Structure 1
């Protein structure tokens, strides 16, 4: 009996037993890993409804009214106050970016739009604003890259894509030059 058992242990197995053994060993591990992947993947897309502080909402409304009147400095002050009241609200960063663009500060506007994109990576208004500021600054290739990403998300017919395409078509705005960059030619006069 012992000899017979030893011979069958190393001998041939019934068909399909290796498959059964493989499935029995690795199925629990595969299920655990797939559950882990599903849970961590869904955590990134979970959103909490954003409720804005009423004081910040009032400051944003004041800032938008000031920006419509052309008072970009006063609007920036209102938007920064709203940011201090409610620092996580994405619309405040968008408003700050819009105010910076109107003031001709495209680099600062890009910074605010990127802050908004860090908080909400698929925010179409932030993408359009960042791309428009890049186009106004002269970084047309980066703006075109942003436009293609934006068109991939919402298509060519969405207002954000059309707004960015128009900004790219306008091209960069006039460059602001510092006084040190423009040196007057020395004039030699006889006394």
Structure 2
């Protein structure tokens, strides 16, 4: 009689733990709705519509946050918008899901070059080349070309009226009367 309560408690616990895994999907399956929005985002990016691409890809991630390809494509969108810091964040999110994702490593390296961190981009290139092995790898070739090109030149935004005159030639705020 004493063992009946213990046995029923153990059976109930085992039943509860095993039934929780029936409805779960494996980690490698992405929600089809997420994939649909990802494809829409990729098409919008290819068409040059960065706002629509960003919206579709963010929707894809809401549908399934494990969609690595959506993170990588969002990184490409951010780079096209000249936002390398945001791109790096998206590539890092993809790399958290799969540390050896060659597309994410290469994209992150390109964003690092865009931001001026060429040495860190070279580290990414070494990782990509190690993952690819002896095979020719388009991601490694693209990243090597971006590193060779170097970071973009800084944009000059000062106007001629913003220049400071040399010492002794300051302009007065009050016009002189003749």
* TM bucket normalised to smaller: 0.7 to 0.9
- 1:160 aligns with 139
- CA distance in structure 1 between the partners assigned to 2:141 and 2:161 by the alignment: 41
Cα shift at 1:176: 4.6
Cα shift at 1:58: 1.4
Cα shift at 1:158: 0.8
Q: Tell me if structure 2 keeps the 8 A contact 1:83–1:92.
A: yes
Matched ranges for 1:110-189 at <5 A: 110-155=88-133, 157-176=136-155, 184-185=162-163, 188=171
Structure 2 residue 57 is matched with structure 1 residue 79: yes
- CA distance in structure 1 between the partners assigned to 2:76 and 2:164 by the alignment: 42
- CA distance in structure 1 between the partners assigned to 2:128 and 2:70 by the alignment: 21
Cα shift at 1:122: 0.7
In structure 2, runs of 5+ residues without a counterpart are 1-25, 166-170
Q: Tell me if structure 2 keeps the 8 A contact 1:155–1:161.
A: no
Cα shift at 1:183: 8.5
RMSD: 2.4
TM-score normalized with structure 1 length: 0.68
Q: Tell me if structure 1 keeps the 8 A contact 2:113–2:146.
A: yes
Q: Tell me if structure 2 keeps the 8 A contact 1:50–1:89.
A: no
Structure 2 residue 37 is matched with structure 1 residue 59: yes
- CA distance in structure 1 between the partners assigned to 2:117 and 2:30 by the alignment: 34
- CA distance in structure 2 between the partners assigned to 1:59 and 1:87 by the alignment: 12
- 1:96 aligns with 74
TM-score normalized with structure 2 length: 0.72
- CA distance in structure 2 between the partners assigned to 1:73 and 1:103 by the alignment: 10
Counterpart secondary structure, 1:73: helix
Aligned length: 143
* Bigger Rg, which one: 1
In structure 1, runs of 5+ residues without a counterpart are 1-47
Cα shift at 1:185: 2.4
Q: Tell me if structure 1 keeps the 8 A contact 2:41–2:53.
A: yes
